[in-house]
Amino acid sequence: MTMTKRILIVEDEPDLAFILKAFLLSEGYDVEIAEDGVDGVEAAQANPPDLILMDVMMPEMNGYQACRLIKSDPLTQGVPVIMLTAKTYQTDRYWGLEAGADEYLTKPYDERLILSKIRSMIGA
């Protein structure tokens, strides 16, 4: 029996988080939502997911900061992080990858592309 893969969505825009969650649930993933970077880091440390989808522009702590904390913690450093953001400049991409993100995708996003990246990182 295979365990359902868990994905943590760190997104401060409730509508976007809900749509993404509904899509991933329909693909068979178990999904948790954190509403900002602080909650995202705490949720990841409390129960490390198989993968994290991380927004960049959030209150309290941005995605770059949250990703750095997740990747510097021995408990969560191996969890793949996909940045999912409206920030489209090459410098934004650079800082996302520099912060430790495994992938950097921009909004508006293509659900099929997200799904193929997730599957390539953690399987179905």
pTM of the entire structure? 0.95
CA distances from 101 to 2, 15, 91, 92, 108 (A): 26, 23, 14, 12, 19
pLDDT band at residue 87 using 50, 70 and 90 as cut-offs:
confident
The Cα–Cα gap between 18 and 83 comes to 17
Q: How confident is the model at residue 109 (pLDDT cuts 50, 70, 90)?
A: confident
Statement: residue 1 has pLDDT above 70:
no
Question: Per-residue pLDDT averaged across 29-43, rounded?
Answer: 97
Average pLDDT, integer, range 35-51: 97
Domains of the chain: 6-122 (3.40.50.2300)
- Looking at the predicted structure, is the pLDDT value of residue 123 above 90? no
HSE of 114, CA atoms in CB hemisphere, 13 A: 24
**What are the CA-CA distances from residue 15 to residues 12, 19, 22, 77 (Å)?**
9, 6, 11, 29
Q: What percent of the chain has pLDDT over 70?
A: 98
| DSSP-assigned letters across all residues of 97-119 | HHTT-SEEEESSPPHHHHHHHHH
